[in-house]
Structure 1
């Protein structure tokens, strides 16, 4: 078997405690779609984007998610949670297997700075295996904007990449294009599940390894139940997209060294961009009131 039936839950949620609502939604999916093996939730869907709710590892929310996975016999990627370890806060996505065990844990490597303040960058990449299906990579939201992240996970064997997301800004249209481009360039499924309601703009997207959009959601509550076909990934990589475009083989075989990635390369022209900070009230002539 090389198929993985999944359900992405694009839920209309607020900034309060959404845990009971999410538990009900998971139970409804298990009852309505008994063939689903994995449920995926959006980033920070339990309490929203405030680090005030950061909890120690093994929090009540994680414990209840583990219980839900065990009760329904599902793989569960419950979006992400702010996790406090000592004086540091991480945006962390656990992966829970059908026995309720946490088999992987990923810390977001690219917090949405300068807005996602007080969140420490993660240091590791995350892939995990679903027996009988395939290998899956995990990222969180803004990570997807960095093509190196996707290529690294594919190099590690990922055949699908799950991206829990919380986007409530007007760049969502760009994210849809980025998901499609990443899928085509890496011949990988991209499963980007965004939150709706007060927290986000919805429009979750699932893209196949040939770059085709399998489903794009609306802006309201939507349960996205479908199958990932890992044999389709393998065939696309072997023969190329449309039996033509063999991107990964070309990347593998090309004797190209990119100076930007070499040790000691430094920031190059990017040094001229200035600090990573909130934009101030400026125009092309500099700060207002400083015209000459």
Structure 2
């Protein structure tokens, strides 16, 4: 039995209107009209914040765009997801924390119209981004499919993020991106590497030109690129992720060989990890059940 998850990745420029939410519902409805079987729609980083990039000189606009999670923006997006009956991942937003912090936060809304999960970017792109860092990894269960993990843009450059998400049972890592710089080529390699070494799908959706560098893509659990935007122009990528592929690859190995999640035995000694002032305990190595 397969666990199909039809997805649509909307590679689009950020909405720069005074009211970035104006017309967003029509955009989402347009995607569903073209691809009616879609169950999850994902947008790029900062898509709804009315800003044109992550640079520090935009801090005043980022601050102006910030709202708490119980603010009107989240309520409107929750209603939209509920009205359309889809999983809506509208990219990331500027979140105002309880004590005034500025977070870069990914949101996930359920088909029932609820904020199902939120994730604060752990690794802001310093010194260019003024956000406070998040303090936890986040996974979300989609009852009809499987478990999703979240990583925002620069998070992908830190292998600890993808590793922990996979260990927490994530079968798909959704990575909203606003890459405006020349390193998108490296990010594509990193997406494949994170997929391979963790045996997960990686979904990276980038901002379109002229601001972003595009080239959104979906990578399967063995590192194969399933679909990719050929350039930076606005486009919608669609795919059907079969999450049972993750189960198959972990059971039989990447290329029928490598089963890194089954590497250790219970008799192996723990390995000190000086970088983290901690240790790798073989008895805790395998991913969580999903």
- Per the shorter chain, which TM-score range? 0.7 to 0.9
Deviation, 1:137, is 0.4
Q: Which entry has the higher C-alpha Rg, 1 or 2?
A: 1
- Give ranges in structure 2 of 5+ residues lacking alignment: 55-60, 280-290
Mapped to 2, the partners of 1:21 and 1:128 lie a distance apart of 28
Q: Which moved more, 1:181-190 or 1:80-89?
A: 80-89
Residue 51 in structure 1 maps to residue 78 in structure 2: no
Mapped to 2, the partners of 1:35 and 1:200 lie a distance apart of 28
Change (3 A) 1:245 1:116: same
Change (3 A) 1:256 1:176: farther
Map of 1:170 onto structure 2 = 182
Mapped to 1, the partners of 2:159 and 2:265 lie a distance apart of 16
Map of 1:42 onto structure 2 = 44
Mapped to 2, the partners of 1:252 and 1:201 lie a distance apart of 44
Picking from 273, 282, 288, the partner of 1:259 is 273
Map of 2:197 onto structure 1 = 185
Deviation, 1:255, is 4.8
Deviation string, structure 1 residues 136-157 (Cα, Å, up to 9, x no partner)? 1011111110001000000000
Mapped to 2, the partners of 1:88 and 1:14 lie a distance apart of 23
Map of 1:235 onto structure 2 = 248
Trace 1:266-281 onto structure 2 (pairs within 5 A).
none
Deviation string, structure 1 residues 99-139 (Cα, Å, up to 9, x no partner)? 1101111111011110002x111011100111121111011
Given that 2:179 and 2:207 are in contact with CA atoms closer than 8 Å, whether structure 1 keeps it comes out as yes
Change (3 A) 1:255 1:4: farther
Mapped to 2, the partners of 1:45 and 1:262 lie a distance apart of 34
Deviation string, structure 1 residues 197-242 (Cα, Å, up to 9, x no partner)? 3431111111000110111112111111111111111000100012
Matched residue pairs, number? 264
Trace 1:191-210 onto structure 2 (pairs within 5 A).
191-210=203-222
Aligned with 2:215: secondary structure? coil
Q: Which moved more, 1:122-131 or 1:83-92?
A: 83-92
Deviation, 1:38, is 0.6
Given that 1:15 and 1:199 are in contact with CA atoms closer than 8 Å, whether structure 2 keeps it comes out as no
Mapped to 2, the partners of 1:76 and 1:143 lie a distance apart of 21
Deviation, 1:258, is 4.4
- Give ranges in structure 1 of 5+ residues lacking alignment: 266-292
Mapped to 2, the partners of 1:178 and 1:127 lie a distance apart of 20
Given that 2:175 and 2:203 are in contact with CA atoms closer than 8 Å, whether structure 1 keeps it comes out as yes
Given that 1:183 and 1:210 are in contact with CA atoms closer than 8 Å, whether structure 2 keeps it comes out as yes
